[in-house]
């Protein structure tokens, strides 16, 4: 069952999202060759707790960290590690904050130092596809319109759209109905009604759409080991216009692409 949110609830999700946005900004300020993603995890954890929030992912189905950190061929749900980021890597940082009873969820994929043009294009176009998806997440449209628009745009470059993982509703729980696939047919799926809050999160692979799960039981990587990008916002569908509740503005002070 879809839980539609009222204005007060959406305002609380925005408060949660503001802490999340600043945590992302803090991470963005530190991304460079030589830093370990465990350091980033600690930074984000401490900032969220100091701000009165709780990291949404830590303890979720036993996930042990604040951040999902997915480097290069890892798509999502990777663990932070003590391995240093290297020039030319890309790293998806996914984070959620629970605050005053509500979750927010957003992700950004960073280039570490200089990356190849091919990989930079993957990042730019995956990020663009997030905003294209949001453009189609309008009152009275359907869930399939979102996925169709993301799929059409990213497949036009020959990229693979991950099927096994999808966006989701969220609010009092981190994952609620409905599922929000990054593929599909326009005009299909649940109608987008006033007060629907969803995380839209394209996961786009340079090569095959196929993914496998690593033996740690969490990390999802591309089957062909080519890189994958992931960008995510939490948005509210309102009759008055769709609002992006999470923000990348603090990230964009450091990474403006
Ligand atoms: Mg996320
Ligand atoms: Mg999500």
| Cα separations in angstroms, 91 against 66, 79, 193, 206, 241 | 15, 11, 34, 14, 32
Task: Determine the distance separating the centroid of ligand 2 and the alpha carbon of 22, expressed in angstroms.
Answer: 18
DSSP the chain: ------HHHHHHHHHHHHHHHHHHHHHHHH-STT-BHHHHHHHHHHHHHHTT-EESSTTGGG--SSEEEEETTEEE-PPP-SSBP-TT-EEEEEEEEEETTEEEEEEEEEE-SS--HHHHHHHHHHHHHHHHHHHH--TTSBHHHHHHHHHHHHHTTTPEEPSS--EEE-SSSSSEEEEE-SS--TT-SSB--TTEEEEE--EEESS-S-EEE-TTSS-EEETT---EEE-BEEEEE-TT--EE-S--TTTTTT---
Let me know: does 54 contact 135? Beta carbons within 8 Å.
no
Ligand with minimal distance to 170 CA: 2
From first to last of the 257 residues of the chain, give the pLDDT tens digit: 999 999 999 999 999 999 999 999 999 999 999 999 999 999 999 999 999 999 999 999 999 999 999 999 999 999 999 999 999 999 999 999 999 999 999 999 999 999 999 999 999 999 999 999 999 999 999 999 999 999 999 999 999 999 999 999 999 999 999 999 999 999 999 999 999 999 999 999 999 999 999 999 999 999 999 999 999 999 999 999 999 999 999 999 999 99
Which residues does 249 contact at the CB level (< 8 Å), separation at least 6?
21, 25
- In this prediction, residue 93 carries a pLDDT of 98
- In this prediction, residue 5 carries a pLDDT of 98
Count of other CB atoms within 10 angstroms of residue 147: 27
Task: Determine the distance separating the centroid of ligand 1 and the alpha carbon of 188, expressed in angstroms.
Answer: 24
- In this prediction, residue 214 carries a pLDDT of 95
Let me know: does 54 contact 100? Beta carbons within 8 Å.
no
Ligand with minimal distance to 106 CA: 1
- In this prediction, residue 78 carries a pLDDT of 96
Let me know: does 94 contact 79? Beta carbons within 8 Å.
no
Task: Determine the distance separating the centroid of ligand 2 and the alpha carbon of 199, expressed in angstroms.
Answer: 5
Task: Determine the distance separating the centroid of ligand 2 and the alpha carbon of 201, expressed in angstroms.
Answer: 6
Task: Determine the distance separating the centroid of ligand 1 and the alpha carbon of 57, expressed in angstroms.
Answer: 9
Task: Determine the distance separating the centroid of ligand 1 and the alpha carbon of 29, expressed in angstroms.
Answer: 20
Query: Is 207 buried (19+), middle (13-18) or exposed (0-12) by CB count in 10 A?
Result: middle
Task: Determine the distance separating the centroid of ligand 2 and the alpha carbon of 213, expressed in angstroms.
Answer: 17
Ligand with minimal distance to 199 CA: 2
CA distance 254 to 30: 9
CA distance 97 to 148: 29
Task: Determine the distance separating the centroid of ligand 2 and the alpha carbon of 30, expressed in angstroms.
Answer: 23
Task: Determine the distance separating the centroid of ligand 1 and the alpha carbon of 107, expressed in angstroms.
Answer: 5
Ligand with minimal distance to 57 CA: 1
- In this prediction, residue 139 carries a pLDDT of 98
Task: Determine the distance separating the centroid of ligand 1 and the alpha carbon of 103, expressed in angstroms.
Answer: 10
> Could you tell me the strand order of the sheet in which 74-76 lies?
74-76, 220-222, 211-213
- In this prediction, residue 26 carries a pLDDT of 98
Task: Determine the distance separating the centroid of ligand 2 and the alpha carbon of 171, expressed in angstroms.
Answer: 11
| Cα separations in angstroms, 16 against 22, 44, 137 | 10, 14, 21
Task: Determine the distance separating the centroid of ligand 2 and the alpha carbon of 84, expressed in angstroms.
Answer: 25
Task: Determine the distance separating the centroid of ligand 2 and the alpha carbon of 140, expressed in angstroms.
Answer: 23
Task: Determine the distance separating the centroid of ligand 2 and the alpha carbon of 198, expressed in angstroms.
Answer: 9
Residue ranges of domains in the chain, CATH in brackets: 7-253 (3.90.230.10)
pTM: 0.98
Task: Determine the distance separating the centroid of ligand 2 and the alpha carbon of 106, expressed in angstroms.
Answer: 7
Task: Determine the distance separating the centroid of ligand 2 and the alpha carbon of 70, expressed in angstroms.
Answer: 14
């Amino acid at each position: 069952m879809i839980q539609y949110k009222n204005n007060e609830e959406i305002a609380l999700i925005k408060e949660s999202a503001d802490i999340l946005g600043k945590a992302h900004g803090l991470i963005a300020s530190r991304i460079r060759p030589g830093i370990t993603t465990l350091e980033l995890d600690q930074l984000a954890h401490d900032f969220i707790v100091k701000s009165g929030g709780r990291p949404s992912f830590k303890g979720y189905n036993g996930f042990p960290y604040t951040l999902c950190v997915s480097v290069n061929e890892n798509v999502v749900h990777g663990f932070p590690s003590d391995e240093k980021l290297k020039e030319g890597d890309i790293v998806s940082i996914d984070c959620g904050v629970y605050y005053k009873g509500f979750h927010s969820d957003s992700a950004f994929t960073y280039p570490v130092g200089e990356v190849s043009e091919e990989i930079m294009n993957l990042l730019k176009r995956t990020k663009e596809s997030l905003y294209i998806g949001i453009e189609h997440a309008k009152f009275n449209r359907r869930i399939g319109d979102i996925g169709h628009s993301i799929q059409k745009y990213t497949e036009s470059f020959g990229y693979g759209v991950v099927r096994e993982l999808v966006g989701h509703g969220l609010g009092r729980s981190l994952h609620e109905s409905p599922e929000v696939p990054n593929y599909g047919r326009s005009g299909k799926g649940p109608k987008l009604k006033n007060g629907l809050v969803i995380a839209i999160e394209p996961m786009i692979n340079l090569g095959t759409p196929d993914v496998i799960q690593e033996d740690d039981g969490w990390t999802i990587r591309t089957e062909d080991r080519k890189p994958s990008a992931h960008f995510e916002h939490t948005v509210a569908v309102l009759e008055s216009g769709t609002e992006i509740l999470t923000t990348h503005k603090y990230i964009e002070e450091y990474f403006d692409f």
